[in-house]
């Protein structure tokens, strides 16, 4: 069966520090991969998605970037975190366009 | 752009009651919808889906109804339990027009009182 792993579960970082959040999927190949941010009490905001290795599409201009160095690995990064980067970050995968997405358990990021 | 939205942000019910969570969509060409459940501190989990060639689909204690005429779908939870307390999202996995972008509703918080 397919599984998705995100880490760390929680992270506290100072303003201006770098960020690297990792997501890996097991049990499937060539999945579509997604990064979302969810503010408290709000819906899901799509940040990036990828349909293949090295293929990244950005949905919102921001302080973050994403990379897909391997088929089942998706990384969310920042060179310098801002206070506004605080939030709950979710990684998801799907078999393809229009297919249900399966989410990881998220990373709670707090910027001090 | 197209949107998927929810009528009620919070719903409080007593344990054992039936719960109904509503969702409206604007794209008349939408043909596939999913309901997700998100517990506190976790990622959304798939509950049930429905395609536009159906009006109703049932799962274990959950039923999704789709009214294409008024572009409305609902999630019904029978005999609601405290473990059902969570935020529920409706979603459209495929926005259409060649887009890879799924669309999520704002979410409804279901609170079940014992």
What is the reported pLDDT for B6?
43
Q: Does residue B3 register a pLDDT over 70? A: no
pLDDT category of residue B31 using cuts at 50, 70 and 90:
confident
More confident residue, B6 or A51: A51
What tens digit of pLDDT does each residue of B36-64 get? 999 988 999 999 999 999 999 999 999 99
Q: Does residue B5 register a pLDDT over 70? A: no
Q: Which residues does chain A have with pLDDT short of 50?
A: none
Q: Does residue B97 register a pLDDT over 80? A: no
Task: Report the CATH number at residue A78.
Answer: 2.60.40.10
Q: Does residue B79 register a pLDDT over 80? A: yes
Q: Does residue B96 register a pLDDT over 60? A: no
A73-78, strands of its sheet edge to edge = A3-7, A19-26, A73-78, A65-70
Give me the residues of B, 73-102, that contact A with CB < 8 A.
89, 91, 93-94, 100-102
Give the DSSP letter string of A61-78: -SS-EEEEEETTEEEEEE
Q: How many structural domains is chain B composed of? A: 1
In a 10 Å sphere around its CB, with 0-12 CB exposed, 13-18 middle and 19+ buried, how is residue A67 labelled?
middle
- From the list A43, A44, A105, which residue is nearest B42 (CB)? A105
Residue of A nearest to B42 (CA): A105
Task: Report the CATH number at residue B109.
Answer: 2.60.40.10
Domain limits at A104?
3-111
pLDDT category of residue B106 using cuts at 50, 70 and 90:
confident
Q: How many structural domains is chain A composed of? A: 1
Chain B positions touching A44 (Cβ under 8 A) are 44, 89, 104
Q: What mean pLDDT is predicted for residues B88-109?
A: 77
């Amino acid at each position: 069966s397919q599984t998705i792993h995100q880490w760390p579960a929680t992270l506290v970082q100072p303003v201006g520090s770098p960020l690297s959040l990792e997501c890996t999927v097991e049990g499937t190949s060539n999945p579509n991969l997604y990064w979302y941010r969810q503010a408290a009490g709000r819906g899901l905001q799509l940040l990036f998605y990828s349909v293949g290795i090295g293929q990244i599409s950005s949905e919102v201009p921001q302080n973050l970037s994403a990379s897909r160095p391997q088929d089942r690995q998706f990384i969310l990064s920042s060179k310098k975190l801002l206070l506004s980067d605080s939030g709950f970050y979710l990684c998801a995968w799907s078999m393809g366009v229009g297919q249900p997405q399966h989410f990881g358990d998220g990373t709670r990021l707090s910027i001090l | 752009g197209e949107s998927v939205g929810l009528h009620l942000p919070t719903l409080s019910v007593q344990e054992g009651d039936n719960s109904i969570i509503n969702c409206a969509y604007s794209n008349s060409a939408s043909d596939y919808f999913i309901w997700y459940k998100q517990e506190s501190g976790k990622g959304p989990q798939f509950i049930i889906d429905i395609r536009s060639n159906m009006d109703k689909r049932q799962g274990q204690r959950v039923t999704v109804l789709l009214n294409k005429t008024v572009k409305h779908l609902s999630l019904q939870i029978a005999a609601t339990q405290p473990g059902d307390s969570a935020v529920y999202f409706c979603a459209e996995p495929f926005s259409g027009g060649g887009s890879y972008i799924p669309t999520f509703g704002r979410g409804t918080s279901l609170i079940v009182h014992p």
